[in-house]
Amino acid sequence: MDMSRVTAGDKVLAGSGVGLIIALLFLPWHQVFSFSASAVDAPGGWWGTAAALLTAAILVVTGVRRFTDTSLPTLPRRIGEVTLGATAAVFGLLLIKLALDTDYLGFGAYAALLLAAAMAVGAFLGRDETDEAPPVGSGRGAPPTPF
């Protein structure tokens, strides 16, 4: 596992993404006395489920890009921009879920929104990333050999 390929944005994205999945699946989104419901439960469980699945997909693609030599399909946009758009979609899905029912919110709702925002910050840090090799003379890589 080559950790030198992992950027600061990837670390923020992955850490907050794993925390977000845990928050969506296990923490109480709605809480009334001793009854609680997670983000994937009714009401509006579809929005929480879609956010959890999209978050998992973002984490898988980031892991494949950083820890394997597999080449992903070429996209019309940079992969960093696509990741930023996908994390913005996760945040939007959670905002929709929150807007549909704001009664008896538990701490999981607030934690999930904070983690989704942190995930978007991590994607913003990596928005200029590509999967292409850096151009010659770009300052990356080994220094030139002396004559």
Per-residue pLDDT tens, the chain, 147 aa: give them: 778 888 999 999 999 999 999 999 999 999 998 899 999 998 889 999 999 999 999 999 999 988 988 888 888 888 899 999 999 999 999 999 999 988 899 999 999 999 999 999 999 998 887 765 445 455 555 666 676
Q: How many domains does the chain have?
A: 1
pLDDT of 99 reads 93
Compute CA 74 distance to the chain's CA centroid, rounded to the nearest angstrom.
20
pLDDT of 96 reads 95
Query: Using CA atoms, how far apart are residues 121 and 134, in angstroms rounded to an integer?
Result: 24
Asked whether residue 147 is assigned to any structural domain, the reply reads no
**Hey, which residues does 106 pair with through a beta bridge?**
none
Radius of gyration for the chain, computed over Cα atoms and rounded to the nearest angstrom: 18
Asked whether residue 145 is assigned to any structural domain, the reply reads no
Asked whether residue 1 is assigned to any structural domain, the reply reads no
Asked whether residue 144 is assigned to any structural domain, the reply reads no
Asked whether residue 130 is assigned to any structural domain, the reply reads no
Asked whether residue 77 is assigned to any structural domain, the reply reads yes
Asked whether residue 18 is assigned to any structural domain, the reply reads yes
Note if the bond before 43 is cis, omega within 30 degrees. Answer: yes
Asked whether residue 92 is assigned to any structural domain, the reply reads yes
Domain with 35 in it? 8-124
pTM of this prediction? 0.84
Q: How many residues does the chain have?
A: 147
Residue at 49: amino acid letter:
T
Is residue 73 exposed (0-12), middle (13-18) or buried (19+ Cβ within 10 Å)?
Answer: exposed
